[in-house]
Amino acid sequence: MNPKISFKDVSRTFDVAGRPIFKALDRFSLDIEDGEFITVVGPSGCGKSTAMNIAAGLLQPSSGQVVVDGVEVKGPGPERGVIFQQYALFPWLTVRENVEFGLRLQNIPKQKRREIADHFIDLVGLKDFAHALPKMLSGGMKQRCAIARAYAVNPKILLMDEPFGALDALTRVQLQDQLLQTWSKERRTVMFITHDVDEAVYLANRVVVMAARPGRLDRIIDVGLPYPRTEEIRLSPEFATLRNEVWRAVYHPAAAA
């Protein structure tokens, strides 16, 4: 089977005046299978967001390419949903209007749009806040609204850049479980960036560890724990072993090739 997303020798440099050309991402190659949940961890500045933005079509690679469903990525597309760390809700729109934003662009009739939006608003537990503006929501609620907005256009791929980074531990765990639930129901392909080693292991089929200077792939760790993931799994010795392995990989990367 062909991979759903394929990074092929993707490099990206940044040319900042007065500094040597900076390799944010160096010959990054990775195949993500259809329906797979990949998490990406690595130190700050190792190119995680750069890699994701290139896959999202928001950033051009300096060389190499990202191929989605056999087609080279040239720009953003509705089959690739993106969830940003900073929520990126439109502050002048209500929760429902935010969720409907993408549907509107597809010229879905009002009635149908309503239905779809309400379904996803309900799914993320924001039913009572459908008419609220983002400023009235807590951080966790904003992130859930962003998730509903991304889900609503039914993307086959979800690209998530540290979506739970700013949340408290409890909200975070709840959102993780909810994400896994919907993922196992609707089998999307997910690329999920995080700083949190626990989160990386808990969610993933495979954990991609990156290293910095230059930003590159360090290694890929197979998780191999069964789904649904439960608290029991989170507290199991197998989980601890994997977490230690990822931890060591992040803090002791192999030397750059």
Partner 1 sequence: MSEAATEPLPQAGAVKSSWRFNSMIGLNIVALVFGLGFWQLVTSLGVVGLPTPVQVFNQAIASISSGLLVSDALASLARVLTGFILGIAVAVPVGFLMGWYPTARGLIEPYIQFFRTIPPLAIIPLAIVTMGIGEVPKIFVIFLAAFLTSVVATFQGVISVDRTLINAARVLGARDATIFRRVVIPASTPFIMVGVRIGLGSSWATVVAAELIAAQSGLGFRMQQGQLYYDLPVIFVSLITIGILGLIMDRIVIAADRRLTAWQEKA
Ligand X SMILES: Nc1ncnc2c1ncn2[C@@H]1O[C@H](COP(=O)(O)OP(=O)(O)OP(=O)(O)O)[C@@H](O)[C@H]1O
Nearest residue to Mg ion on Cβ basis:
49
In whole angstroms, give the CA distance from residue 26 to residue 204.
Answer: 24
For ligand X, the closer of residues 86 and 106 by Cβ is: 86
Sites of contact with partner 1 (CB under 8 A):
56-58, 75-78, 80-82, 84, 86, 88-93, 101-102, 105-106, 123-129, 132-136, 138, 140-141, 144, 149, 153, 174-175, 178
- The number of C-alpha atoms within 13 Å of 179 and in the hemisphere containing its C-beta is 30
Considering the rule CB under 6 A, would residue 176 count as an interface residue with ligand X?
no
For ligand X, the closer of residues 46 and 159 by Cβ is: 46
Considering the rule CB under 6 A, would residue 47 count as an interface residue with ligand X?
yes
CB 179 to Mg ion: min, Å = 19
Structure tokens at 193: 């960036």
Stretch that binds ligand X, among 43-51, 66-74, 89-97, 230-238 (CB under 6 A): 43-51
Structure tokens at 249: 């990989």
Q: Which residues of 227-236 are buried (b: 16+ CB within 10 A; e: fewer)?
A: eebeeeebee
For ligand X, the closer of residues 153 and 193 by Cβ is: 193
Considering the rule CB under 6 A, would residue 10 count as an interface residue with ligand X?
no
Residues 6 or more apart in contact with residue 17 via CB below 8 angstroms: none
Considering the rule CB under 5 A, would residue 49 count as an interface residue with Mg ion?
yes
Residues 6 or more apart in contact with residue 61 via CB below 8 angstroms: 10, 11, 12, 25, 54
Count the residues of the shown chain that bind ligand X, applying the rule CB under 6 A. Answer: 13
Choice from 24, 41, 82, 190 touching ligand X (CB under 6 A):
24
Considering the rule CB under 6 A, would residue 11 count as an interface residue with ligand X?
no
In whole angstroms, give the CA distance from residue 96 to residue 117.
Answer: 6
How far is the CA of 59 from the CAs of 5, 14, 64, 245, in angstroms? Answer: 16, 11, 13, 32
For residues 247 and 241, is the Cβ–Cβ distance under 8 A? no
CB 113 to ligand X: min, Å = 34
**DSSP β-bridge partners for residue 130:** none
CB 210 to ligand X: min, Å = 7
For ligand X, the closer of residues 47 and 140 by Cβ is: 47
SS3 content of the chain, % helix, strand, coil (to 5): 40, 25, 40
Structure tokens at 144: 């859930």
For partner 1, the closer of residues 2 and 14 by Cβ is: 14
Stretch that binds ligand X, among 40-48, 62-70, 149-157, 170-178 (CB under 6 A): 40-48
Stretch that binds Mg ion, among 46-54, 66-74, 101-109, 231-239 (CB under 5 A): 46-54
Please report, as ranges, the residues that interact with ligand X according to CB under 6 A.
14, 16, 22, 24, 42, 44-50, 215
